[in-house]
């Protein structure tokens, strides 16, 4: 029937090699670090991928990060200028939200991320938890039914009260909190090992000990 798959027994199995794309929402976490802190190159970037999150290159370019591409790789580098605010509809790529909202906290001007009411049903309520993170570093947020408006003031000061941030067992929140830590804020991340769900090498790549 339509709901049944039958596989015949005693077949000879052929060994084949299949290329597997990287998780582009996790790649974005590294790209965000590069936009603030240096440079990252993504070899064999899947430009023709069906993953909606590949849009992060366009978003970073709009914000003023340096984005270079060839047929083989994509590279994101920190610009000499401050990143610029952005308005993005994340309906098709909600997994970008926690890290992108955090990146917007270090941009000039008010940013708005919307179009993703389903964010509240992810591993955590990502809208509320990301607002909690940004509020802790002195960034004004306005929670919307489908996203958030982020209004930072500059210069942001790292002279804030040391705080603990609970990732709520959400790997994307851990990525966002790491971005905050990379800018010198006194943050203690609860349950940092949650990144093993999608990106077990994350802490080694960003050279952080949590």
Q: What token pair was written down for 88?
A: 């993005």
11 within domain boundaries: no
Q: Which residues are catalytic?
A: 95
Total count of domains within the chain: 1
- Write out the residue range of the structural domain in which residue 70 sits: 24-198
The answer to whether residues 103 and 134 touch, using CB atoms and an 8 Å cutoff, is no
Least confident span in 21-25, 28-32, 92-96: 21-25
Q: How high is the pLDDT of residue 1?
A: 53
Where does the chain have alpha helices with state H? 24-37, 56-63, 97-104, 126-136, 171-182, 202-205
Q: How high is the pLDDT of residue 154?
A: 82
pLDDT digits (tens, 9 = 90+) for 167-182: 999 999 999 999 999 9
208 within domain boundaries: no
Q: How confident is the model at residue 58 (pLDDT cuts 50, 70, 90)?
A: very high
- CA distances from residue 56 to 6, 18, 60, 158 in whole angstroms, order as listed: 40, 25, 6, 27
pLDDT digits (tens, 9 = 90+) for 98-117: 999 999 999 999 999 999 99
209 within domain boundaries: no
List the CATH number of the domain containing 63.
3.65.10.10
């Amino acid at each position: 029937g339509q709901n049944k798959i039958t596989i015949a027994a005693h077949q000879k199995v052929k060994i084949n090699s299949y290329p597997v794309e990287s998780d582009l929402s996790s790649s974005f976490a590294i790209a965000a670090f590069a936009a603030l802190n240096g440079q990252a190159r993504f070899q064999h970037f899947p430009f023709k991928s069906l993953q909606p999150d590949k849009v992060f290159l366009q978003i970073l370019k709009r914000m003023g990060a340096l984005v270079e591409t060839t047929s083989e790789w994509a590279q994101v580098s920190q610009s000499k200028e401050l990143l610029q605010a952005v308005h993005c509809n994340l309906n098709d790529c909600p997994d970008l939200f926690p890290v992108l909202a955090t990146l917007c906290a270090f941009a000039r001007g008010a940013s708005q991320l919307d179009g993703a009411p389903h964010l509240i049903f992810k591993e955590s309520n990502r809208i509320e938890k990301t607002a909690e993170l940004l509020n802790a570093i002195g960034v004004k947020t306005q929670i919307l039914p489908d996203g958030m408006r982020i209004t930072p003031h500059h210069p942001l000061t790292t002279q804030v009260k040391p705080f603990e941030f609970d990732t709520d067992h959400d790997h994307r929140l851990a990525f966002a909190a790491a971005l905050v830590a990379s800018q010198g804020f006194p943050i203690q991340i609860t349950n940092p090992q949650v990144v093993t769900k999608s990106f077990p090498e994350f802490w080694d790549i960003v050279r952080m000990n949590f």
